[in-house]
Chains A and B, each alone.
Chain A
Amino acid sequence: MKVNILTLILYIFSIGIISALALIYEQPAIVLFILMLFILIPVSLIVFFNVSDKFTFTLSPVSEYVEEPNSPAFVLEYKNAAPIGLFSCDVVFTAENNFYPSMTKHKMSIPLTRKSNSFTIPLESYDIGLVSITIEKFILHDYLSIFRKEINVSLESSVPVLPKERNIGDFPPAVPKDGPDEFTESENIGNISSDVKEIREYRPGDRLQRIHWKLSAKLDDLFVKEMAHTSSLAIILVPELCRDEIHDTAESLLSCIKIMYEKKERFEVCIYNDISCDYTFFTVTDEAGMLEAMTHFYCQPLYEGRENALNTYLHSSGKIATVIHIIGKTIKISE
């Protein structure tokens, strides 16, 4: 329990002034008003003592994520176990976008007059990022704001602010589902064609280029080559967390992810951490996966380089996949 010295001084000063007036001008009627001010303090204090420890608070986001230009909001809910409430409670919190750290403290005053109620903490976001809010303490005031009780807490909640989806044209690019031929030739990606996994009989629809002519001639039947990467073929999205182009990168990544999971493509998102030089794969098949991947993307440290993630991936990953490198608005298939 703490005392707001300034308010108390002001209050006592008011009583003093009125008392002095009553005394100087010999007016007993003014005593009424002095008594009023005197009575208010114990009334307020008694209620405050009995009520101030009866509150419980919870914090939650209004929605799991928001998409630009919408802004996130959080809901602070309280429950009061006491029969009467308090008039004023200050909620001290910080709010920040993880890409733009902030030291600004916010103090929001709410009334705690009902058995339970909820208040929106509205935020206005001007860029993408993981917007989080941390409530540090609640300061409960008595009816006259003379006494206060501080309850230290650590209620946290966060919401990713996603960029608006962008039209990125025909995506993903025409990657052959069943053979590396055109892909290999046209994009010239490594020497993947030599990795023949198995040879099977020809089925209608198989491409002529895949026919194993030598074997077919020997066995007098058509056989086709089943390439090794065809069965485990994956598209890996590798976004760069380049500081200067983070907004565009996120926008491109989101657009790619959305298009691909809506088309039910099999793909993974590789999120790179520049400090640990590690990366994490997210298989996205629905909105939840998208949200998980984007949230993780937002939580990684930014860097200056333009190919850190790609290079690390190419040098260390054993996966054989189509790598789509995303930086800013550029989306390109890479080795």
Chain B
Amino acid sequence: MISWLDKIIYKKEIKDNKLIVGEVTQTKKSNRFLICLFKGILVYIATYCSICGLLDAFEIEYNRPIIMVAFAFFSFYVSFLYFNKLIFYIFYIILFVAFTVELARYYMAANSGFQAAINIIFEEYSDYFGLAAIREGYESVTNRYLTVTIAALFLGAFTAILLNVTISGYMNAFETALVTFPYIEVALFIHKIPSAIYLFGLLFVYTCVVFLQFSRHSRMQVKGKRTHEFLRIKMKKENRYAYQADIPVFLYSFAFSFVISLVIIILLKAPLNMPISKVPGNAIHKQTQEYVKILVQNGIGGFLDTYTSTGGLSGGRIGGVSQVRPDYETDLEVTFVPINYDTIYLKGYTGTNYQPSGWFPLAHDLTYLEDQREYDFGNTAKIMIKEVDADPKFDYRPYFSSTTDIEHSPSDYNTYEITYKPVLSSADYAEPKEDELLILSDYYEYVYDACLVVPEDLKPVLDETLKEINPVKTDDINQYRINCANAIYVYFLENFNYTMAPGRTAYKRDFVEYFLTHQKRGFCAHFASATVLLLREMGVPARYCEGYCIPITLIYEDAILTDNNFDEWYSGKQDIELQSVLEVPVNDSYAHAWVEIYLDGYGFVPFEATIPSFDEEDNDLGFLTFNFFSAITRNTLNFEQFGTTNNPNNGNNSGFNINKVFDIFNFNTAGVRATVVIIFVVFIGAFLLFLLTRFLIIRIKLTVYRKNNDEYHLVIYEYSKLSAMLKRKGYLKKDNPLPMDVKEAYDLYLANYNNRHKKQKDVDTKALFEHYEKVMYS
């Protein structure tokens, strides 16, 4: 007999032709056993060869015997789920519950193992691509041999479940390749060839699955009848049926696949390592590599946000950036002579006018007057800047240089030399003298008017914040201004956090207002912008700057010695034993934003407003330990109280907080998420188990009732079922209906049913309910 569902599907044939193709239930249990076994072998080979092939290609150590045994167990467990319907439903639930529980138990080790494998793979990728930095996951358990084995076990179980669907369920070669090939491709992409045995295994599985897929006799239905092997598909003009799951088909496929795979592997073993000649102008490969680099450096999160800062200059644009993700491509190539251990700042942009969308220069910008200022500290230096990928809108100049000193290369406009007069230390800095520019009324207005402007709607927020900021009072106006900046910095240090991924500013909210009141975390643009406005509200002329910084660590790590004549590039004293002309590649992670404060007699001097990240990994990066503009600030401006803790997190690199950017991978965050998922899964599992138990209990009880001829309980069951059905269909409204109510409702239901279906459903309700009443109430 065909199922009730098929009867609905073939209703027309049944009505018109009184004949349909029926059902075959002929497969023996032993055949099902063998087919499950064959499929289990395929799942096992595919799982083992893909995961262990990947691990071996990257020489990641793990416990091979345990993995082999465990993968075999997983594979045969999942393939035998298709043995029959009961096993399918019960053991699938058990599998998922066990998987979830074990994952919860060994989460820390599994996560660490996963991170360890990722870290090793990313290191290889980093070497292959020559990347400056990679995403590095946190390993809470350091025993990689153990953790990688545990992670591989979970990954193997998960892969086996997927493969069981693609192989046992659908027998689809494409889907099987989709599940397994990415593992191997991770190695192949950077030309790491796994051992031939893994490639042979995968080839064998793919070939076998191709044969079995096209054979159309490899599937076993499990959701229909227990031995339902006869697949029926209703088409428009013809009906199709297929005998499924034929043992010889498997034997033939295995034999053919083995021979073919062996021949291919033997033939192609030698040329495997031969590089294919590069395709000229292969844009797809290059683009893919770019994406891979983003993945290696920023993780999956790197692809999610469509509007991100890549770490270069934003040109004063703020807000809307949820996180900064440098691409670590070189933006500038700077050739110069280092004279001390201080960071060199190359300013590119100055913003005076604050708008909700960012910092802008004034319409009649007077900064050009500053650019023409002459300095002389007894040192003369030359710096050559080549703009490789930096925004060409700006010139990047060190402090103490003027625009008149810029000399562009005749052959390349983006390469220019600047002669400047760097200050070596604060002791060399001359006593303040009258700023001749202030004589110009326009410039005076610029400093004491434009650089003190605060939007009216922001004043309440700024004033509220300033209540918690108490600068040390002093009569020295310059010192007071510095004290104000320091107080703001301390306030941020105590109450705010540095992060590269603060999230974007909420819709229709001001960037600074949102940062001060809600976010309380951010990167350099946040701290610089807020500091400028707070300073202005305190009466200190200030403005916002962007540019690049070159910390000493970058010089030590990446600088290349050039054969330029030292004397042509620098004359004067040095505080560093590096008497060479160096070329330093500066990538976009060294882009930065800072504050300039106007000090009488000195003009606008830079102030580092960005607080450091206190993450260990950030501090380990090393280049955070410089002290900004120490030549001025260390002594004269009393910055030393912050010492090395006054880390500017300069550029976006210095504050590159891996764990915060990738907090999706962070154990603590994910731990909370995993707990929620586990609770949810356990709840759903418990609910399903409850339904199943209820269903089984009812069936068992009915069987017992029938066996014992317990008419009372059987009638009660039937009566309850009927009442529930009538209630569900809306015929029965009462909560505790009497049999006469149920009868009335049932009569109505039958009348409607017969009317609707134009046929007679003859039920003697009177007799039926008399019987019910008699049994129930007698």
Q: Give per-residue flags for B255-282: 1 if the beta carbon is below 8 A from chain A beta carbons, else 0.
A: 0100011011101100111111111001
CB distance from A111 to the nearest CB of B (A): 4
Query: If A26-B275, A26-B276, A28-B272 touch, does A100 touch B246 (CB 8 Å cutoff)?
Result: no
Chain A: CB-nearest residue to B15: A126
Q: List B contacts of A113 (CB < 8 A).
A: 246, 248-249, 252
Q: Is B751 an interface residue (CB 8 A)?
A: no
Query: If A28-B275, A31-B271 touch, does A108 touch B241 (CB 8 Å cutoff)?
Result: yes
Q: Is A125 an interface residue (CB 8 A)?
A: yes
Query: Can you pick out 22 interface pairs between chain A and chain B where the beta carbons lie within 8 Å of each other?
Result: A24-B279, A25-B189, A27-B188, A28-B271, A28-B272, A30-B188, A32-B268, A87-B214, A88-B216, A97-B19, A99-B18, A100-B19, A101-B17, A102-B19, A104-B239, A107-B241, A108-B240, A111-B248, A124-B21, A143-B214, A144-B210, A145-B214
Please report the C-alpha to C-alpha distance between residue A104 and residue B17 in the assembled complex, in whole angstroms: 9
* B19–A125 CB distance below 8 A: yes
* A33–B206 CB distance below 8 A: yes
Q: Which one of B22-30, B42-50, B309-317, B594-602 is at the interface? A: B22-30
Query: If A31-B268, A40-B207 touch, does A109 touch B217 (CB 8 Å cutoff)?
Result: yes
Q: List B contacts of A36 (CB < 8 A).
A: 203, 206-207, 260-261, 264
Of residues 186 to 228 in B, which have CB atoms within 8 Å of A's CB atoms? 188-189, 191, 193, 199, 203, 206-207, 210-211, 214-217
Of residues 13 to 46 in A, which have CB atoms within 8 Å of B's CB atoms? 14, 22-33, 35-37, 39-40, 43
Q: List B contacts of A107 (CB < 8 A).
A: 238-241
The one of B238, B248, B261, B268 in contact with A104, judged by C-beta atoms closer than 8 angstroms, is B238
Please report the C-alpha to C-alpha distance between residue A128 and residue B32 in the assembled complex, in whole angstroms: 36
* A121–B191 CB distance below 8 A: no
Please report the C-alpha to C-alpha distance between residue A26 and residue B274 in the assembled complex, in whole angstroms: 10
Please report the C-alpha to C-alpha distance between residue A35 and residue B188 in the assembled complex, in whole angstroms: 17
Query: If A36-B261, A109-B240, A109-B242 touch, does A124 touch B22 (CB 8 Å cutoff)?
Result: yes
* A40–B276 CB distance below 8 A: no
Q: List B contacts of A97 (CB < 8 A).
A: 17-19
Q: What does DSSP make chain A's interface, helix, strand, loop or mixed?
A: mixed
Most buried by B among A27, A31, A102, A123: A27
Please report the C-alpha to C-alpha distance between residue A99 and residue B267 in the assembled complex, in whole angstroms: 64
* B210–A106 CB distance below 8 A: no
Most buried by B among A23, A27, A108, A111: A111
CB distance from B235 to the nearest CB of A (A): 8
Q: Is B300 an interface residue (CB 8 A)?
A: no
Number of interface residues of A (CB under 8 A): 59
Please report the C-alpha to C-alpha distance between residue A113 and residue B251 in the assembled complex, in whole angstroms: 10
Chain A: CB-nearest residue to B174: A14
Q: List B contacts of A35 (CB < 8 A).
A: 264, 267-268
Further 8 A-B residue pairs, CB within 8 A, beyond A29-B188, A32-B203, A36-B264: A23-B279, A27-B189, A35-B268, A97-B17, A101-B17, A108-B240, A110-B217, A126-B18
* A108–B242 CB distance below 8 A: yes
Q: List A contacts of B279 (CB < 8 A).
A: 23-24, 26
Q: Is A114 an interface residue (CB 8 A)?
A: yes
Q: List A contacts of B18 (CB < 8 A).
A: 97, 99-100, 125-127, 129
* B19–A73 CB distance below 8 A: no
* A40–B189 CB distance below 8 A: no
Query: If A88-B214, A105-B237, A107-B240 touch, does A23 touch B276 (CB 8 Å cutoff)?
Result: yes
Chain A: CB-nearest residue to B12: A104
Chain B residues with CB under 8 Å of chain A are 1-2, 13-14, 16-24, 26, 174, 184, 188-189, 191, 193, 199, 203, 206-207, 210-211, 214-217, 230, 237-243, 246, 248-249, 252, 256, 260-261, 263-265, 267-268, 271-279, 282, 284-285, 288
Q: List A contacts of B191 (CB < 8 A).
A: 26-27
Please report the C-alpha to C-alpha distance between residue A325 and residue B189 in the assembled complex, in whole angstroms: 87
Most buried by A among B2, B184, B211, B230: B211
Q: Is A95 an interface residue (CB 8 A)?
A: yes
* A33–B203 CB distance below 8 A: yes
Q: List B contacts of A32 (CB < 8 A).
A: 199, 203, 264-265, 268, 272
Query: If A88-B217, A102-B19, A122-B24 touch, does A110 touch B238 (CB 8 Å cutoff)?
Result: no
Q: List B contacts of A27 (CB < 8 A).
A: 188-189, 191, 276
Chain B: CB-nearest residue to A102: B17
Please report the C-alpha to C-alpha distance between residue A25 and residue B243 in the assembled complex, in whole angstroms: 42
The 8 closest A-B pairs by CB, nearest first: A87-B215, A113-B248, A122-B22, A124-B22, A109-B242, A102-B17, A127-B18, A111-B246
Q: Give per-residue flags for A71-106: 1 if the beta carbon is below 8 A from chain B beta carbons, else 0.
A: 101000000000011011000100111011110111
Of residues 168 to 227 in A, which have CB atoms within 8 Å of B's CB atoms? none
CB distance from A150 to the nearest CB of B (A): 15
* B189–A143 CB distance below 8 A: no
Please report the C-alpha to C-alpha distance between residue A263 and residue B274 in the assembled complex, in whole angstroms: 91
CB distance from B257 to the nearest CB of A (A): 9
Chain A: CB-nearest residue to B6: A124
Q: Is A131 an interface residue (CB 8 A)?
A: yes
Q: List B contacts of A92 (CB < 8 A).
A: 238
Most buried by A among B17, B24, B277: B17
Please report the C-alpha to C-alpha distance between residue A145 and residue B242 in the assembled complex, in whole angstroms: 15
Q: List B contacts of A143 (CB < 8 A).
A: 211, 214-215, 256
Q: List B contacts of A122 (CB < 8 A).
A: 21-24, 230
Q: List B contacts of A124 (CB < 8 A).
A: 1-2, 19-23
CB distance from A96 to the nearest CB of B (A): 6
Please report the C-alpha to C-alpha distance between residue A110 and residue B240 in the assembled complex, in whole angstroms: 11
Q: Is A119 an interface residue (CB 8 A)?
A: yes
* B188–A24 CB distance below 8 A: no
Please report the C-alpha to C-alpha distance between residue A92 and residue B239 in the assembled complex, in whole angstroms: 10
Please report the C-alpha to C-alpha distance between residue A142 and residue B279 in the assembled complex, in whole angstroms: 37
* A39–B214 CB distance below 8 A: no
Q: List A contacts of B248 (CB < 8 A).
A: 85, 111, 113-114
Chain B: CB-nearest residue to A35: B264
Please report the C-alpha to C-alpha distance between residue A298 and residue B274 in the assembled complex, in whole angstroms: 76
Chain A: CB-nearest residue to B1: A124
Please report the C-alpha to C-alpha distance between residue A224 and residue B275 in the assembled complex, in whole angstroms: 118
CB distance from A44 to the nearest CB of B (A): 9
Q: List B contacts of A121 (CB < 8 A).
A: 21
CB distance from B292 to the nearest CB of A (A): 10
* A24–B21 CB distance below 8 A: no
Please report the C-alpha to C-alpha distance between residue A183 and residue B215 in the assembled complex, in whole angstroms: 71
